[in-house]
Amino acid sequence: MSRPPGPPELPEAVATRRSRWRMQVVWLVPLIAVLIGGWLAVKAILEQGPTVTISFETGEGLEAGKTKLKFKNVDIGVVKSVTLSRDHRNVVATAELSKDATGLLVDDTRFWVVRPRISGGTVSGIGTLLSGSFIGMDVGTSTKSRRDYVGLESPPVFASGVPGREFILKGDNMGSLDVGSPIYFRRLQVGQVTSYKLDDNGKGVTMHVFVNAPYDKYVQIDTRFWQASGVDVSLDATGVKVNTESLVAILIGGLAFQSPDDTADQPEADASAEFTLFSDKAEAMKRHDRIVDHYVLNFKESVRGLTVGAPVDFLGIVVGEVEAIHTSFDPVTKQFSIPVDIKLFPERFTSRFASGAAGGRLATDADRQQLAQALVDHGLRAQLRTGNLLTGQLYVALDFFPNAAKAKVDWSSSPPAMPTVAGGLQSLQDSVTTLIAKLNKIPFEAIGNDAHQTLRDADALLKRLDTEVAPQATQALASAKSALDSANNALQPDSALSQNTGDAMKELARTAAAFRTLADYLERHPEALIRGKLEDKK
């Protein structure tokens, strides 16, 4: 019987010795990777730019990893994160910039989000409709480095380093102005409004404006700024005048400035100098008087149509304006009066009273009071007059009324009270009132009754004449007609009366001729009255 086959014989293991060099090569690969990684890290650190944080009111247009930072339209960084501030009031964008942008991060550098905007008559950021919003950058002139910034909510009107000067304007209101509104000098656009804010007391606004070089040299210490928005229409003796700076100013508003033409050249205004913003050119160019005298005018009539700022006129020249209008009650007379405070500018009287005037004012208060009282003694009075028939606006006129009642300037009151007279319209109203009062005293009812009775008596008389007198009058007229007919027949040429009358007239004519002959003879021979005719004696 055969034996089953056993398992196959395994080969005998032979011990071999591995190479040490092979093991070192295996560990060299990760080492090289570490070295390369370290080199890349060091390179990244060396090439890494600065990181900045920018605070905005909202995160509109900001997206981490996509929103870029640009300077002069060149990419210099990207937003890495967008988070809320700790107080949750703002949005903080953290951006990483390229290394070569380190020198751009100075203290007065400005950032803003570039997006489509329409402001001040200009349209910007249209390209971001396709490419998306980005953060714009304007490098300042400071040498101090900075990493935390508060972004602007709107782009700056002018870039840093642009030649020109910034000025400050103080006004009552903004009108139709906005950031970017144009500024005009002799109808040339020379600048823009850069910013504005409401004053702390809420009674005005403060604006910052920038005037480009070389036009900024025309802003002098006596320059006047005014709102050039809309259209100014004026009516004077030459006709209707329409004034505007430009069509853009009509649509979006604008400012204008100019120095008075009647003043000598003044020094240029310093940067950040403050100026008053006037409502229009007429107000801006109005003469600014240095000396002001205050008076009060007490009117008994209505002052409807008189406003604060209304002119005070002296013989056609504006010498002051109305300051305030009040009401006053006299408990003694139980009557109301309207005190009107006015201010007069003595400098405007200087040309009339040059002698004794110093600096636009008479030498002393005593001289001023003496002159004022002398004018009042000659009839100077204040009167309300209509300045515009269409609007009914009034103004105060200082004029002479020789027939006015005597009056004095009340220097004891504060301010002094100047005498007044009723206005022309008020005088007319008083005359009409007096006439109506006199008419009311006429007994029209009694006169009417008497007239009615007279008419009744006349009617009765006419009826009586018609019934009683008319027949007798008819008979009398018939008799008169018969007598006239008889007289007419007697006066006919062929009637006996006419023939006898003719013969008598002829006899009278012959008699008259004889008398004339006798008169002529006696005139030639007056002695005939005594001696008779010579022929008779012979």
Q: CA-CA distances (angstroms) from residue 43 to 34, 38, 100, 462?
A: 14, 8, 15, 140
Q: Which two tokens stand for residue 58?
A: 């909202």
Q: Are residues 191 and 230 in the same domain?
A: yes
Percent of the chain with pLDDT over 70: 77
What's the pLDDT score for residue 212?
A: 92
Strands 68-71 and 164-171: unpaired
The mean of the pLDDT values for the chain is 79
Which of 261, 284, 307 is where one domain is finished?
284
Query: Is the pLDDT assigned to residue 404 strictly greater than 70?
Result: yes
pLDDT confidence of 209, banded at 50, 70, 90? Answer: very high
Query: Is the pLDDT assigned to residue 215 strictly greater than 90?
Result: yes
Least confident span in 16-20, 61-65, 198-202, 329-333: 16-20
Least confident span in 262-271, 423-432, 520-529: 423-432
What's the pLDDT score for residue 354?
A: 47
Least confident span in 267-271, 291-295, 334-338, 362-366: 362-366
Q: Are residues 58 and 113 in the same domain?
A: yes
Q: CA-CA distances (angstroms) from residue 83 to 30, 57, 67, 78, 183?
A: 39, 12, 14, 15, 40
Q: Are residues 351 and 398 in the same domain?
A: yes
CB neighbour list of residue 185: distance below 8 Å, 6 or more residues apart:
211, 215, 218, 256, 257, 258
φ and ψ at 500, to 5 degrees? -60, -40
The helix/strand/coil state of 145 is strand
pLDDT in tens, 241-255: 666 666 666 666 789
Q: How far apart are CA 213 and CA 453, in angstroms?
A: 97
Query: Is the pLDDT assigned to residue 204 strictly greater than 80?
Result: yes
What's the pLDDT score for residue 356?
A: 47
Average the pLDDT over 407-435 and give the result: 77
Q: Are residues 169 and 137 in the same domain?
A: no
What's the pLDDT score for residue 237?
A: 45
Cα dihedral 67, 68, 69, 73 sign = negative
pLDDT confidence of 126, banded at 50, 70, 90? Answer: low
Q: Are residues 515 and 479 in the same domain?
A: no
Q: How far apart are CA 121 and CA 314, in angstroms?
A: 46
What's the pLDDT score for residue 342?
A: 92
Which of 284, 306, 333 is where one domain is finished?
284
Residues paired with residue 114 on neighbouring β-strands, in sequence order: 134
pLDDT in tens, 432-453: 677 777 777 778 788 888 888 8
Average the pLDDT over 68-79 and give the result: 89
73: enclosing H helix or E strand: none
Query: Is the pLDDT assigned to residue 431 strictly greater than 70?
Result: no
The verdict on residue 26 lying in a domain is no
| Structural domain boundaries enclosing 104 | 51-150
Query: Is the pLDDT assigned to residue 305 strictly greater than 60?
Result: yes
Average the pLDDT over 208-217 and give the result: 92
DSSP per residue over 349-414, as a string? GTTTS-TTEETTEESSHHHHHHHHHHHHHTTEEEEEEES-TTT--EEEEEEE-TTSPP---BTTSS
pLDDT confidence of 392, banded at 50, 70, 90? Answer: confident
CB neighbour list of residue 137: distance below 8 Å, 6 or more residues apart:
69, 70, 71, 76, 104, 109, 110, 111
pLDDT in tens, 310-342: 899 988 888 889 999 998 888 888 888 899 999
pLDDT confidence of 20, banded at 50, 70, 90? Answer: low
Average the pLDDT over 108-113 and give the result: 89
Tally of domains within the chain = 5
Q: Are residues 297 and 431 in the same domain?
A: yes
Q: Are residues 331 and 266 in the same domain?
A: no
What's the pLDDT score for residue 242?
A: 64
Q: How far apart are CA 532 and CA 190, in angstroms?
A: 134
Query: Is the pLDDT assigned to residue 131 strictly greater than 50?
Result: yes
What's the pLDDT score for residue 426?
A: 57
Query: Is the pLDDT assigned to residue 357 strictly greater than 50?
Result: no
Q: Are residues 321 and 451 in the same domain?
A: no
Higher pLDDT, 353 or 189: 189
The verdict on residue 22 lying in a domain is no
The verdict on residue 523 lying in a domain is yes
φ and ψ at 433, to 5 degrees? -65, -45
Q: Are residues 298 and 432 in the same domain?
A: yes
The verdict on residue 157 lying in a domain is no
Which of 232, 250, 284 is where one domain is finished?
284
